[in-house]
Amino acid sequence: MGIIAIVGRPNVGKSSIFNRLLGRRESIVDDFPGVTRDRLYGEMSWDGRGFYIVDTGGIIGDTEGSTPEIEARMELQVKHALAESDGAVLVLDGREGLTAVDWEIAEMLRRGGKPVVVAVNKLDNPAKLEAAYDASELGFDLVLPISAEHNFNMGELLDGMVSMLRDDAEFERADEIPVAIVGRPNVGKSSLLNVLAGEERALVSETPGTTRDVVDSIVEIDGTVFRFLDTAGLRRKSRVNTSVEYFSNVRTYQAIDRCRVAVVILDSGEFVTEQDKRLIGQVMERGKGLLILVNKWDLASKDAKVGDRTRAKLRDELSFVSHAPILFISTLTKRGVSKLDQHIKEVDENRRRRISTSELNRLVKEVLIFERMPGDGRGRYLKVSFCTQANGIPPAFVFFVNNAGLVTKPFERRMENILRRMSDFSGVPVRLFFKNKREKRA
C-alpha cells in the first residue's frame, strides 16, 4: 500500500498526529522531545484509499538521554522513511514559529522530490492562525493549520495525504504473518529485526532500552510476508519508574496480542531469568505461537557439547514450554538467522493444526482404557465418553466425562502429552476442557 511519512524536528507533535489519525494511542507521547526514536507504521484508510502512515523520530535535537550517535541514527531513520514513501507531512510547531531546523528539513524534502503537505500543529486558537501563513515561506503548495490535540482540520490533512498517493499504488493487503520480537532490554531484538529486514529498520545501540516503542516492519522472505513487531525491552514492574517505560511495557504486551507467533530472545551470557519466564508465560496465556532464540551464541564456549548442555538446561528451566523450538543464533555473525522464517511458518501452521474426531475417539477407546483414571477415593472414577477438537485457534480439545470434578492436574498434563504425540503442536499452547456428559446433550 501507499506510504506517507510524518517528519519534523523533535516535539512538534508528530506522534500526536499519528495517534489522532489512527484513532488510538499507538505511539508514545510525552512532554519531552525525542521520545519517538524509531519509525512506526500504522495502517488506515480515508476516502476509500488504504495506506500506511509512518511516525518518525525527530530529525535532530539535544534531548535527554540522547547521544550524537543516536541523533545521527534518528536522522537516518527519517531518510529511510522518506525513501520508501509516496509523500511526506512536514509538521511544524505553530506556537514557536519557523526555526533554522525547519528550514533544513524543508530543503531535505525538496531534494527528495516527493510531494509535501505542511501541517502547522498546536493552532487551537483562531487568533494564532497567522502562523500558518508564515509557514508558506517554505515554498510548499499546501499549508494547513491543525491541532492534533483538539482534532482541528484533521480531515483536511487526510485529504492532503491521500492526494499524494500514487495513482498506480496497489491496495491489496498481502497475507502477513505478524511476529512479535520480545525479550529483556539489550538481548538483541532490534539487531535481529535489522538482519531480517536487510537494513537498519530499528535503532541499535549498546545502551539498553534504545527502542521504546513497537516498530512495525513488513519483510518478505522467499515469498512469505512477515510483519515483525520489534518491542522495547520488558522490565520488571519494580524497575518501571517513568511513564515512558510504563507505556513501553504496555506496548510489548499489545504486540504479543497482535502477533500470531512471538519470538522470545534470551541472552546466552545471562540465561533464563524470572522475567523471561513470566514473559513466556504471557505468550502462552494469550494463545500465541512461541519460538525461543538464544542470541549472542558467537560468545558461547567452543566446547562441542555446550549446545546440548544449554538446550537441556533450558528444557529444565522452562519445563512448562518444553514443546517450544529452541534456536541458537548470533545477530552479529548471522548464524542461524536464515532458518528463522521457516521455523516461524511451522509454528504458525501448528496453531491451526487439527486432529480428526475419529482419531481422537480412537484415543479415548484404545489409550484411556489402559490409563489409571483419577477417582474420589470412594470407588467413583473418571470416565471419558467422547472427545472433539473445538473450532478456533490455538488448538483446544473438549472431553465429555461422567464427572468433571474428578479431573486432576496430572491427568490434564497426561492428556496434553498424548495429544502432542498424536500431532505436531510444537511451540503452541494446547488447551483442554472437560464437560459433564449431560452438557453435551444440551
Query: What pLDDT does residue 364 have?
Result: 79
User: 351, 380, 403: which is the final residue of a domain?
Assistant: 351
In a domain, 386, yes or no: yes
Using alpha carbons, select from 194, 161, 173 the residue that is nearest to residue 76.
Answer: 194
Using alpha carbons, select from 72, 145, 144, 58 the residue that is nearest to residue 102.
Answer: 58
Q: CB under 8 Å to 280, separation ≥6 — which residues? A: 264, 290, 292, 318, 321, 324
As a whole number of angstroms, the distance between CA 310 and CA 340 comes to 19
- Burial environment of residue 300 by CB neighbours within 10 A (0 to 12, 13 to 18, 19 or more): middle
Question: Both 37 and 79 in a single domain?
Answer: yes
pLDDT bucket at 25, cuts 50 / 70 / 90? low
Question: Both 294 and 420 in a single domain?
Answer: no
pLDDT bucket at 73, cuts 50 / 70 / 90? low
In a domain, 343, yes or no: yes
Q: Tell me the whole-structure pTM to 2 decimals.
A: 0.61
Question: Both 196 and 345 in a single domain?
Answer: yes
As a whole number of angstroms, the distance between CA 355 and CA 361 comes to 10
Question: Both 323 and 237 in a single domain?
Answer: yes
Q: How far apart are the first and last CA of the chain?
A: 48
Question: Both 14 and 152 in a single domain?
Answer: yes
- Are 291 and 342 in contact, with CB atoms under 8 Å apart? no
Domain count for the chain: 3
How many residues in total does the chain contain?
Answer: 442
Question: Both 392 and 280 in a single domain?
Answer: no
- Whether the pLDDT of residue 61 is over 60: the answer is no
pLDDT tens per residue, range 240-267: 454 445 445 666 777 888 899 999 999 8
In a domain, 169, yes or no: no
Question: Both 43 and 97 in a single domain?
Answer: yes
CATH number at residue 425: 3.30.300.20
pLDDT tens per residue, range 182-235: 988 888 888 898 898 887 655 555 555 554 556 677 888 888 888 888 776 665
Q: Which domain holds residue 248?
A: 176-351
> In the numeric block, which cell numbers belong to residue 186?
539489550
In a domain, 171, yes or no: no
CATH number at residue 187: 3.40.50.300
Of the two residues 321 and 9, the one the predictor is more confident about is 321
User: 351, 379, 411: which is the final residue of a domain?
Assistant: 351
Query: What pLDDT does residue 222 have?
Result: 86
User: 163, 198, 223: which is the final residue of a domain?
Assistant: 163
In a domain, 152, yes or no: yes
Category of 380 on φ-ψ map: left (φ > 0), alpha (ψ -120 to 50) or beta: beta
Question: Both 11 and 57 in a single domain?
Answer: yes
In a domain, 22, yes or no: yes
pLDDT bucket at 112, cuts 50 / 70 / 90? confident
Question: Both 411 and 331 in a single domain?
Answer: no
Average pLDDT of the chain to the nearest whole number: 81
Query: What pLDDT does residue 74 have?
Result: 60
Evaluated on CA atoms 430, 436, 437, 440, the torsion sign reads negative
As a whole number of angstroms, the distance between CA 426 and CA 250 comes to 27
Question: Both 271 and 371 in a single domain?
Answer: no
In a domain, 170, yes or no: no
Evaluated on CA atoms 185, 191, 197, 199, the torsion sign reads positive
pLDDT bucket at 167, cuts 50 / 70 / 90? low
Least confident of 86-95, 346-355, 432-441: 432-441
Three-state DSSP class for 349? Answer: helix
Question: Both 195 and 281 in a single domain?
Answer: yes
Do strands 431-436 and 224-230 pair parallel, antiparallel, or not at all (unpaired)?
Answer: unpaired
Of the two residues 102 and 205, the one the predictor is more confident about is 102
In a domain, 210, yes or no: yes
Q: What angle do CA 113, 39, 294 make, to 5 degrees?
A: 135
Mean of pLDDT values over 416-429:
93
- Whether the pLDDT of residue 425 is over 90: the answer is yes
Question: Both 276 and 148 in a single domain?
Answer: no
